Chain A
Amino acid sequence: MSARPVLVVEAFPTVPLVEIVFAMPAGSALDPKGKEGALVLALRSLRRGAGTKSSTQLDDEIDRLGGELSTGCDALQSSLHATVISRNLEAFFALIAEIALRPTFAEEEVARVRREVTAELIDARNDDRTLCGRYFRRTLFAGHPLGRPAAGTLTSVASLTRADAVSAWTRVWNTRGMVIAASGDITEERLAELWDRYFGGAWAPTHERPAELADPAPVKKRRLVIVDKPARTQSQILIGALGTHPTDKDHHALYVANTVFGGTFTSRLMREIRSKRGWSYGASSRLGRERVREVFSMWTFPKSSDAPACIGVELALLEALHEDGISARELSFAKKYLKESAVFDSDTASKRLAQRLDEACGDMPKGYHDRFIPKTQEVTIEQCKRAVRARINPDNLILCVTATASDLRAQLEDAIPGLASTTVIPFDRDEFYA
């Protein structure tokens, strides 16, 4: 039986561009154990040959049309993301249909993509911030699907075959609940017409969307992870634990508290770390808003010799937040900031589309974005305090630092009261906690 996905359109005909997202409600969490990276391999192999067209022909055609085609993948969803100059929309849409419906997954092309992914995994070791984020997440979400690397590891990618790629794509493409979202120089009628012409009858999903993920296990005690890289003059530092879920009763209160703590340029964290001490060019905290319980984290990057002291101040600030909450003045300021800046969450068609897509895909509850700012305006000081106490415990944290371990390990350990364990991971090791 054929079907039509949910279509979402934010028209903005002033700009001769069209952006289209094919959002599929299944992601890398479906990769079999030991086959991490299978879906990414499949998605990236799509444009390496489809129908009668070779990889080279597809690349030539995409560029000739003034188009871009990329793919996205995380644990829960995957996507094809297309942008094109609007005069070439139909030809580009036809090409996407060819790619999505008739990918060839030629053995030699899949192998080529596998080698590309491998090279990128190695190259990513160049980036200290990427390394810090990678091991922070892998430690925080150890044993949970969120901790599995979507792109895979060197070991898992080496094991992937053409059959793995075909299987991953077939599973994802045939999952119910796909949403096609478009913004720019396009209408919903036009999108429906293009779908019917190029996909109609050919898309017949047979799989139910995967079940929601259970909450990850909370962090216990303070655990230090050092990503050991030689000759660092600066340390990348991420400190955090689990954060919030959009259906939590204290979701909005925690968000407001985080805004005060590290969510703006004049927040507590920025004031103490950068403005007063000049230790780090950036200092912020983040509270992920996803459909699963994501991360609360603080991010700084001081000179290596300042790293222990910087961690000490961050911990003290977090303890103060946990103990005392926020002041009435801070609450009032944060609410005003959130209310006044909300206009920038929807000032372009692309941003409005992203919000609608969130809800259409089930990433956020229906009406989440419309209700978000009004809800933050109702938050009280007591609610903020209770939310911080319930969700963020300064005694239970992952502290991940990219640094030269031989220079800093002892000082870092001294700077963290109540430290339960230290793990040192060489930066060029392919560690992963299954």
Chain B
Amino acid sequence: MHRSTSPEKPAKKRAATVKRGGTTKTAAKPSSWLDKLNAAASKRAKVTEEPSVAFGAETIQRFRLGNGLRVLVVESHHAKVVSFHTWFGVGSRHEHEGKTGLAHLFEHLMFNETKNLPAGTFDRKLESIGASTNAATWNDWTYYYEDLPSDALSLVVSLEAERMKNLVLRKPQVVSEIDVVANERRYRVEDDVDGTVNELLYKTAFEQHPYHHPTIGWMKDILAFTPEDCRRFYKCWYAPNNAAIVVVGDVTAPKLLALVQKHYGEIASATIPEETYPQEPEQKQERTDRLVKPTPTAKLAVGYKSPALSHEDHPALSVLCEALFGGRSARVFRALVTDGELATDLAASVAQFRDPGLFEIYATARDGVAVETLLNGLDHELRGLSVNPITEAERERSIARLELGFLQGLETVGGRAEQIGFYETVLGDPAGSITRLAALRAVTVADIERVAKAYLSKAKRTVILVEPSPDAPNEASEGEGEEESE
């Protein structure tokens, strides 16, 4: 995240899809307005229409500029607001050893100076129209968004295009933002046990693949970035043919495309590097690491190797995860938290990455409960799956909960834009969340039993054990300014 949430504004709610009658205006017929738009357009700026895709009861209209920029539009006129997202196909997976955290640092730099906007002007202009803006970076992607009153669309399009083509990357901007990111890392990792554990889990589970290193980067790398590193990264990845603009809300496609063509039409495409990172070798043995931290109770993290988001087993594994860990009726939650009283908190998820990730499980022990006891309790429940597989009732509850979460995640225009941008960037399918819901509903208990056997193998897991000690030093895994020690 580029910034922490301002406490004056409520946290962004994730929520809700459209059931029926999502749009109140009829989309204009493309051919007529597109012909006019393209009449005097250069090759780069020429807009072509691609097949529309159903998104629940709404429609994703898809377009592409000659320079490769994808534009996805959902017209939804319930409120006079628009969410404007720009998704780039670059994340921490594209970084190299010694340069980790560059994608995330870059996300910060994108809010700084451009050729035509002095430092601070970007945010100031957006605030003057009542818009809010932020960004996020992860393994496979980086995205930027503005939530804006719909009559301010023109300004936002011009600002986003300006920073895609004219970012200024000199020493003062880079040095100042390095300090901010170093502080963000202290906040999220060094002084946060959960953040430290998550970082160590991936570092230990992945030895070759770039998922090994944290998106925020190792501290020594963050502190060493130069303006030249940033300029190279910008030139390499921030190009129209590596981006998708997703706009949801009170907007029409003709108006939006006219603005996009005007402001982005002359940006040159770039040669996006072919990905050449090493594939992760199959894990054949359990890996364990142990930490002592100034935390009041023990903590446990377990990561089983899991399939990529596009893999056919991903939905079944997600339903299994929900049946075991999601909600108060989930099997392991009940055993460890409610009935067994071994844990205070329990959370799990299956990574939604382009490449295979982890089925992650995190548990916080009750006061006085040893971390080994917690791990034994978890293992007992997971072993029990072989004799007591997930039942039809558990499957039904899990799918209902996943459906609820899906609906809550699409309530706002921003929530819908995020879903569309995420699936477009990771899977190339902007309506992937709808497809996924159908896949989740189709999962059977036999599917769940099969994936449980296939993936929940000790030989394919990594375990991080955290023991509490009030006096333990709180050194990060990569001490500030020191060499990474592996």
> A68 near B404 (CB under 8 angstroms)?
yes
> B473 near A337 (CB under 8 angstroms)?
no
- In chain A, positions 13-52 with a C-beta closer than 8 Å to chain B are 13-17
Q: Which residues of B contact A14 (CB under 8 A)?
A: 18-22, 57, 78
* Pick from A229, A232, A280, A337: contact of B130, CB under 8 Å: A337
Asked whether A206 is an interface residue with its Cβ less than 8 Å from the other chain, the reply is no
Q: Which residues of A contact B120 (CB under 8 A)?
A: 266, 271, 275
* Pick from B19, B128, B194, B401: contact of A340, CB under 8 Å: B128
Residue of B nearest to A68 (CB): B404
Asked whether B131 is an interface residue with its Cβ less than 8 Å from the other chain, the reply is yes
Whole-angstrom distance between the alpha carbons of A119 and B176 in the complex? Answer: 41
Residue of A nearest to B295 (CB): A126
> A265 near B404 (CB under 8 angstroms)?
no
With known contacts A233-B474, A343-B80, A284–B411 Cβ distance under 8 A: no
Residue of A nearest to B396 (CB): A64
Q: Which residue, A56, A67, A337, A344, has most C-beta atoms of chain B within 10 A?
A: A344
Whole-angstrom distance between the alpha carbons of A288 and B225 in the complex? Answer: 40
Task: Report the minimal beta-carbon distance from A81 to chain B, rounded to whole angstroms.
Answer: 13
Q: Which residues of A contact B78 (CB under 8 A)?
A: 12, 14
Task: Report the minimal beta-carbon distance from B22 to chain A, rounded to whole angstroms.
Answer: 6
With known contacts A60-B393, A85-B403, A265-B123, A299–B7 Cβ distance under 8 A: yes
Whole-angstrom distance between the alpha carbons of A169 and B416 in the complex? Answer: 39
Task: Report the minimal beta-carbon distance from A226 to chain B, rounded to whole angstroms.
Answer: 15
Asked whether B127 is an interface residue with its Cβ less than 8 Å from the other chain, the reply is yes
Q: Which residues of A contact B50 (CB under 8 A)?
A: none
Q: Which residues of A contact B79 (CB under 8 A)?
A: 343, 346-348
> A343 near B8 (CB under 8 angstroms)?
no
Asked whether B457 is an interface residue with its Cβ less than 8 Å from the other chain, the reply is no
Whole-angstrom distance between the alpha carbons of A60 and B334 in the complex? Answer: 11
> B8 near A286 (CB under 8 angstroms)?
yes
With known contacts A112-B341, A344-B81, A274–B191 Cβ distance under 8 A: no
Task: Report the minimal beta-carbon distance from B41 to chain A, rounded to whole angstroms.
Answer: 32
Asked whether B268 is an interface residue with its Cβ less than 8 Å from the other chain, the reply is no
Q: Which residues of A contact B18 (CB under 8 A)?
A: 14-15
With known contacts A60-B329, A344-B132, A119–B334 Cβ distance under 8 A: no
Q: Which residues of B contact A275 (CB under 8 A)?
A: 119-120, 176
Whole-angstrom distance between the alpha carbons of A232 and B183 in the complex? Answer: 12
- In chain B, positions 175-194 with a C-beta closer than 8 Å to chain A are 175-184, 186-187, 190-191, 193-194
> A278 near B176 (CB under 8 angstroms)?
yes
- In chain B, positions 104-144 with a C-beta closer than 8 Å to chain A are 119-120, 123-124, 127-133
Q: Which residues of A contact B184 (CB under 8 A)?
A: 281
Residue of A nearest to B468 (CB): A126
Q: Which residues of B contact A12 (CB under 8 A)?
A: 78
> B327 near A59 (CB under 8 angstroms)?
yes
Q: Which residues of B contact A346 (CB under 8 A)?
A: 79
**Tier of interface size on chain B:** 35 or more
Q: Which residues of B contact A314 (CB under 8 A)?
A: none
- In chain A, positions 59-92 with a C-beta closer than 8 Å to chain B are 59-60, 62-68, 83-85
Asked whether A171 is an interface residue with its Cβ less than 8 Å from the other chain, the reply is no
- 1/0 per residue, CB under 8 A from B, across A345-361: the answer is 01110110000000000
> B19 near A122 (CB under 8 angstroms)?
no
Q: Is the interface of A mostly helix, strand, loop or mixed?
A: mixed
Q: Which residues of A contact B367 (CB under 8 A)?
A: 118-119, 122
Asked whether B285 is an interface residue with its Cβ less than 8 Å from the other chain, the reply is no
- In chain B, positions 445-486 with a C-beta closer than 8 Å to chain A are 470-476, 480
Give the number of A-B contacts (CB < 8 Å): 229
* Pick from A13, A282, A337, A351: contact of B3, CB under 8 Å: A282
* Pick from A60, A265, A278, A279: contact of B127, CB under 8 Å: A265
> A59 near B328 (CB under 8 angstroms)?
yes
* Pick from A116, A118, A184, A231: contact of B294, CB under 8 Å: A231
> A185 near B13 (CB under 8 angstroms)?
no
Asked whether A339 is an interface residue with its Cβ less than 8 Å from the other chain, the reply is yes
- In chain A, positions 376-433 with a C-beta closer than 8 Å to chain B are 428
With known contacts A63-B329, A281-B184, A339–B130 Cβ distance under 8 A: yes
- 1/0 per residue, CB under 8 A from A, across B157-201: the answer is 000000000000000000111111111101100110110000000
Asked whether A174 is an interface residue with its Cβ less than 8 Å from the other chain, the reply is no
Q: Which residues of A contact B401 (CB under 8 A)?
A: 63, 66
Q: Which residues of A contact B297 (CB under 8 A)?
A: 119, 122-123, 126
> A231 near B472 (CB under 8 angstroms)?
yes
* Pick from B182, B183, B408, B476: contact of A17, CB under 8 Å: B408
- In chain A, positions 330-374 with a C-beta closer than 8 Å to chain B are 333, 336-337, 339-344, 346-348, 350-351
> A123 near B345 (CB under 8 angstroms)?
yes
> B183 near A15 (CB under 8 angstroms)?
no
Asked whether A303 is an interface residue with its Cβ less than 8 Å from the other chain, the reply is yes
Task: Report the minimal beta-carbon distance from A345 to chain B, rounded to whole angstroms.
Answer: 9
Q: Which residues of B contact A276 (CB under 8 A)?
A: 176
Whole-angstrom distance between the alpha carbons of A59 and B120 in the complex? Answer: 50
Asked whether B296 is an interface residue with its Cβ less than 8 Å from the other chain, the reply is yes
- 1/0 per residue, CB under 8 A from A, across B36-48: the answer is 0000000000000
> B338 near A112 (CB under 8 angstroms)?
yes
- 1/0 per residue, CB under 8 A from B, across A216-238: the answer is 00000000000001111110000
Task: Report the minimal beta-carbon distance from B171 to chain A, rounded to whole angstroms.
Answer: 13
- 1/0 per residue, CB under 8 A from A, across B56-95: the answer is 0100000000000000000000111100000000000000
Asked whether B426 is an interface residue with its Cβ less than 8 Å from the other chain, the reply is no
Whole-angstrom distance between the alpha carbons of A15 and B403 in the complex? Answer: 12
Q: Which residues of A contact B393 (CB under 8 A)?
A: 60, 64
> B127 near A231 (CB under 8 angstroms)?
no
Q: 25 A-B residue contacts at CB 8 Å?
A: A15-B15, A16-B407, A64-B396, A85-B404, A112-B341, A116-B344, A119-B297, A119-B344, A119-B366, A122-B296, A122-B344, A231-B294, A234-B186, A234-B187, A264-B6, A271-B120, A277-B179, A284-B7, A286-B8, A299-B7, A303-B182, A333-B127, A339-B130, A340-B149, A344-B130
Among all A-B residue pairs, the 9 with the closest Cβ atoms: A340-B130, A278-B179, A282-B4, A231-B474, A341-B130, A66-B400, A15-B16, A347-B79, A59-B328
* Chain B residues close to A by CB (< 8 Å): 3-4, 6-10, 13, 15-22, 57, 78-81, 119-120, 123-124, 127-133, 147, 149, 152, 175-184, 186-187, 190-191, 193-194, 294-297, 327-330, 334, 337-338, 341, 344-345, 364, 366-367, 393, 396-398, 400-401, 403-404, 407-408, 410-413, 470-476, 480
- Given A83-B408, A266-B127, A274-B180, 4 new contacts (CB under 8 A): A17-B411, A85-B407, A282-B4, A341-B132
* Chain A residues close to B by CB (< 8 Å): 12-17, 55-56, 59-60, 62-68, 83-85, 112, 115-116, 118-120, 122-123, 125-126, 128, 184-185, 229-234, 258-259, 263-266, 271, 274-282, 284, 286-287, 299, 301-303, 333, 336-337, 339-344, 346-348, 350-351, 428
